[in-house]
Amino acid sequence: MALARDMFEAADKLSKHGHVSVLELKTFLAPIPKYAGFVTWLFSDPSQGKVFGQRGTQAKRKVAMARFKEVDLDGTGSIELEELQAAVKK
């Protein structure tokens, strides 16, 4: 999927090791207008629509990371291209 590959290449800037981290996604992908909505979705609370970082409590941050953790199928804390492709299809 070309969209996911473009997103991956835009985000994989720090160590270029085939994974994109939360930091890479938020730093390099979120500022790009055509990808910002995806990053907002990825780091939002699936049950309430709250975005990661809003209201600042640890419990809400964990909930906001729930969607990211669903996408991170192997539990590494970063996303591989295949995982990103699956997330983009959602």
What is the tens place of the pLDDT at every residue in 30-87? 999 999 999 999 988 776 655 555 555 565 666 668 889 989 999 999 999 999 999 9
Output 63-69 pairs: Cβ under 8 A, ≥24 positions apart.
67/41, 67/42, 67/43, 68/22, 68/42, 68/43
Q: With bands split at pLDDT 50, 70 and 90, how would you rate the model's confidence at 16?
A: confident
pTM: 0.78
Give me the mean pLDDT over the 2-21 stretch: 92
pLDDT at 17: 85
